[in-house]
Amino acid sequence: MSDLNAFRHETRDWLEANCPPSMRESTQGGEEMCWGGRNFEFASEEQKQWMERMGAKGWTAPDWPAEYGGGGLDKAEHKILKEEMARINARPPLSSFGIWMIGPALLKFGSEALKQQHLPPIIRGEIRWCQGYSEPGAGSDLAGLQAKGEDMGDHFIANGQKVWTSYGDKADWMFCLLRTDPDAKKQMGISLVLFDMETPGVTPKPIKLISGSSPFCETFLDDVRVEKDQVVGDINHGWTIAKYLLTHEREMIGGMGMADVGSETMGQIAARALGVDQGRMNNPLLRAEVAKWEIDGACFALTAERVTDEVKSGHGVGATSAMLKYYGTELNKRRFETLLKVNGSDAMVWEGEASNQGWLPRTWLRTKGNSIEGGTSEVQLNVIAKNILGLG
């Protein structure tokens, strides 16, 4: 216990000394997130400092092994770090698909050489990753992917088209699913490979969304050389790793259902926007809608907590990630529909203070993708029906 106390004090002192003042101010939504990478434009010198200092300490990936540059913290220490960061309202130093997705997959399935090569730059925020999974003809039916890697002995030559590559135009490396054995059964014959986005033949093109933003790309692969030592796990056995990563992704997207909209609750936002008379919000039907959302939101947050506690106590049911993804994303869509109604016509303008410079309409439109990406709501319901309920 005294060790943990000492750790808390050291952590507190270190954060006090190293977290720049501007990195302790709240941001709205995704503004000013730090993604790192070769070409990242930092919003400020302090943002860069914060990422680099935390990266050097390994605290951008606190529970990864220290031998790869991670923090090497155990659960109790990790919890303390989170608490101490929350105490001073410190922003996440780095948002990264490397840390969230390919890193955990490398730790679990990657060769020692791949871990040594890729994990340290991920932790330091030097390399930004993107995911090459979906294709125009392989969305919900991901295993139907057609981008192929032709075996050339010590390397593959990749051809095909990937779509919904998050920040593909800004990323440095891609983790990508290729069909490396055209004769094998659907799920067999798929490999998970890694390559540099600067490799000749890789062309990402941004896709403009209904929100006007372009967080995704379609990525064309024309005779791209992929070294065989950049295959994660065994050749033709990438589907298992892909599924593992999808589970991760589901949990990540499902968790967004409870992400805060700034520092106010839905009820506070609505009460401010609609006015309160004699203790009750004006507009009884919207008041009910807001209250019902908050009730469901509270139940969902408790469920995420319970699932975590059950896993910790060894009673985990892994398949619940499908439920959290399904319910969390539907809840997030509902939240923004209600926020839209609560703010009236102010919510629908692209610019100006009323819509927070278009943040609300853009975010609202973006949420429509939550129940599509990472497996649609309908796919999640299929997973629940088949894997949990045993309905064939």
Partner 1 sequence: MALVLNEEQQMLKESAQGFLAEFAPLAELRAQRDAGSETGYADSLWGQMVDMGWAAILVPEAYGGLEFGHVGMGQIVEQTGRTLTASPLFATAVLGVTAIKGAGTEEQKTELLGAIAGGEITTALAVDENAHHAPAQISMTAVKQGQGYSLNGAKRFVVDGGTADKLIVAARTSGEAGDIKGISLFVVDATAAGIEVERVAATDGRNYANISFNQVEVAEAALLGEEGQGFKALSATLDAGNIYLSAEMLGMAQESFERTLQYLKERKQFGVLIGSFQALQHRAADWWSQIELCKSVVLKALQAMDESHKRVPALASIAKAKLAEVAELSTNEAIQMHGGIGMTDEYDIGFFIKRARPAQTLFGDNSYHTDRFAQLSGY
Half-sphere exposure of 322 (CA within 13 A, CB side): 19
C-beta of 146 vs 265, nearer to partner 1: 265
Contact pick of 67, 229, 288, 318 for partner 1 (by CB under 8 A): 288
Q: How far apart are CA 161 and CA 180, in angstroms?
A: 15
Nearest approach, Cβ of residue 63 and partner 1 (Å)? 19
- Closer residue to partner 1, CB minimum distance, 21 or 314: 314
Token pair in block for residue 272: 């401010």
**What residues between 334 and 373 interact with partner 1 by CB under 8 A?**
none
> Rounded to whole angstroms, how far apart are CA atoms 236 and 189?
4
Q: Which stretch binds partner 1 (CB under 8 A): 125-133, 189-197, 240-248, 263-271?
A: 263-271
Q: Collapsing DSSP states into helix, strand and coil, what is residue 155?
A: strand
Interacting stretch for partner 1, rule CB under 8 A, among 78-86, 143-151, 154-162, 265-273? 265-273
Stretch that binds partner 1, among 141-149, 187-195, 226-234, 382-390 (CB under 8 A): 382-390
Q: What is the dihedral of CA 254, 71, 313, 384, to 10 degrees?
A: 20
Specify the residue for token string 């692209």.
350
Is residue 159 involved in binding partner 1 (CB under 8 A)?
no
Q: Which of 243, 218, 9, 209 is nearest to 105 (CA)?
A: 243
Among 118, 287, 362, 366, binds partner 1 (CB under 8 A): 287
Comparing CB distances to partner 1, the nearer of 207 and 269 is 269
Size of the site for partner 1 (CB under 8 A): 45
d(CA 266, CA 268): 5
Candidates 27-35, 215-223, 237-245, 377-385; binding stretch for partner 1 (CB under 8 A): 377-385
Is the Cβ–Cβ distance between 385 and 378 less than 8 Å?
A: no
What is the rounded CA–CA span in Å between residue 217 and residue 98? Answer: 18
Which of 365, 25, 330, 352 shows the shortest CA–CA distance to 215? Answer: 365
Strand 148-151 to strand 129-132: parallel, antiparallel, or no bridges (unpaired)? Answer: unpaired
**Residue 137, SS3?**
coil
Least distance between partner 1 and beta carbon 251 (Å): 15
Q: Any contact of residue 285 with partner 1 (CB under 8 A)? A: no
Q: Which residues contact 214 (CB under 8 A, 6 or more apart)?
A: 206, 207, 208
> Which x/- pattern over 302-341 shows residues binding partner 1 (rule: CB under 8 A)?
xx-xx--xx-xx-x----x--x--xx--------------
Q: Is 249 one of the annotated active-site residues of the chain? A: yes
Within 10 A of 246 (CB to CB), how many other CB atoms are there? Answer: 18
Q: Which range in 8-16, 36-44, 253-261, 284-292 contacts partner 1 by CB under 8 A? A: 284-292
Q: Could you give the CA distance from residue 381 to residue 389 in angstroms, rounded to a whole number?
A: 10
The answer to whether 299 contacts partner 1 (rule: CB under 8 A) is yes
Minimum CB distance to partner 1 smaller for 291 or for 349: 291
CB of 281 to partner 1, least distance (A): 4
Residue of 249, 251, 289, 373 with catalytic role: 249
- For 196, the 3-state DSSP assignment is strand
Active site residues: 249
| Residues making contact with partner 1 (CB under 8 A) | 265, 267-268, 270-271, 276, 279-281, 287-288, 290-292, 294-296, 298-300, 302-303, 305-306, 309-310, 312-313, 315, 320, 323, 326-327, 378, 380-382, 384-386, 388-392
